[in-house]
Structure 1
Amino acid sequence: MATSSPRERILAYAGSTKNITGCALALAGVILVFFGVAGSFWPVVVAGLYGVGALLAPADRVRLTISHAEVESRQLHADLETLLAKVDGNRFPGDVVARVGALAEVLRDILRRADALTSSPDHLHIVSQTIRDYLPSSLEAYANLPRSYALTRRGERERSAHEELLAQLDLLDTQLRKVAESVYQGDEQALRDQGRFLQDRFGGSGLDL
């Protein structure tokens, strides 16, 4: 069974409720020292107040369950990074690498909103298929062509393989940005609701969201 390192345990305790409460009471002890309350026993007072705070503060809640949304988004993110590791300048032209990088940023941002994404099966399907099927299929078909062939047009009206790939990447980018916009609407609505609350609460705040 994997165990955390001493450094990880120290960092975890530093941000814990017990440490924060202890530090707050210790700071109160330091303030008492400045007012001459603690006298020569100030180190004991400060340390004691820290100990009382750390002892009485409730332990941080342990969260062991992982939602389905988190599991799915983590796996999709891992699959995306695995794919991106194969997209480099040796296999693809610079403009293709740049387009794929831009697509990846949109996908990463969508995946950060796991709950909103997985609450919409249609959106989840588009993101999942883009990462696991649409994007790798387009890139794989292009990578299997000789570079000189991929850049050459076969006829006046026919796109080269390079142009065809860029067009497919543009289609994916357009669709993913629609998904992203839909996902962001929840955050936007929350912001508007907060604006209405502040206007009702404080009145004349000048917020017009």
Structure 2
Amino acid sequence: MATSRGRGRVTAYLESAKNLTGCACGLAGLALTFTGLAGAYWPVVVAGLYGAGALIAPPARPPVPDFPDVSTQLEELRADFATLRAYLAEVDLPPAAAGRLVELVDLLDGLLAPGWVSDALGADPEGVHALSRAVHQDIPEAADTFVRTRWWTRITPGAEPPERHLERQLELLHREAEELATGLREAESRRQETHTRYLEDRGGH
């Protein structure tokens, strides 16, 4: 295995920009030798030019990781959101919490809708992260903990109703989604205002 790594390093160096540049400069040294300009010190000249070429060549640069772009992330998030909606449809929620959940799901559905909304969202990585966290963690956790806590409450009555916590959680999540939507709307408004100022400045008004 060590021999294979050694051969790989040798091959990589032979194909590197440093070696190729050094070889080109070394060939220039040989050309000087053939013309008689290098004299008796031609090996030193050739080696020196090779070394100089290897030094001035740009260093090897590892390839940049190819991470999924925002559009791919949003497509995956939409698919996960559809899975979440199917799960939520099977959860038995009290009317008040069910109403808050419908409002939250409708708002997230609008934010994840393909088109110019996604384009605006794609320019906000923090917004994409917030939606991903809500879909993958916050909402399913709120629903699942409610179901489990409600079962315990039924066999050990007297504790605080789990509906209150669920409603509060959904209210907070809806507020976060509203703040994200407001931020995107304000960004579009600033873009519109910037274009107006640009047209005014271009016209000299």
Q: What is the Cα-based RMSD across aligned positions, in Å?
A: 3.2
Q: Deviations over 1:84-131 (max 9, x none)?
A: 122237611222222112111221222233343343332222111100
User: Can you give the 5+ residue segments of structure 2 that lack an aligned partner in the other structure?
Assistant: 1-67
Separation in 2 of the partners of 1:203 and 1:149?
71
Task: Give the aligned residue type for 2:153.
Answer: Y
Q: CA deviation at 1:82?
A: 1.5
Q: Deviations over 1:159-179 (max 9, x none)?
A: 420011000111111111111
Shift in alpha-carbon separation, 1:173–1:164, aligned structure 2, 3 A: same
Shift in alpha-carbon separation, 1:167–1:153, aligned structure 2, 3 A: farther
Q: CA deviation at 1:196?
A: 4.4
Who is 1:110 aligned against? 111
Who is 2:65 aligned against? none
How many percent identity over aligned positions? 22
Alignment equivalent of 1:135, drawn from 129, 132, 139 = 139
Task: Give the aligned residue type for 2:169.
Answer: Q
Who is 1:164 aligned against? 165
Who is 1:125 aligned against? 129
Q: Deviations over 1:40-98 (max 9, x none)?
A: xxxxxxxxxxxxxxxxxxxxxxxxxxx82222112212211211122237611222222
Separation in 2 of the partners of 1:168 and 1:124?
20
| Contact 1:69 1:118 (C-alpha < 8 Å) held by counterparts | yes
Separation in 2 of the partners of 1:84 and 1:184?
25
| Contact 2:146 2:163 (C-alpha < 8 Å) held by counterparts | yes
Shift in alpha-carbon separation, 1:198–1:118, aligned structure 2, 3 A: closer
TM-score after normalising by structure 1: 0.53
Q: Which has the higher helix share?
A: 2
Structure possessing the higher relative contact order (Cα contacts under 8 Å, 6 or more residues apart)? 2
Q: CA deviation at 1:189?
A: 1.8
Shift in alpha-carbon separation, 1:138–1:197, aligned structure 2, 3 A: same
Who is 1:92 aligned against? 93
User: Can you give the 5+ residue segments of structure 1 that lack an aligned partner in the other structure?
Assistant: 1-66, 205-209
Aligned residues: 134
Task: Give the aligned residue type for 2:188.
Answer: D
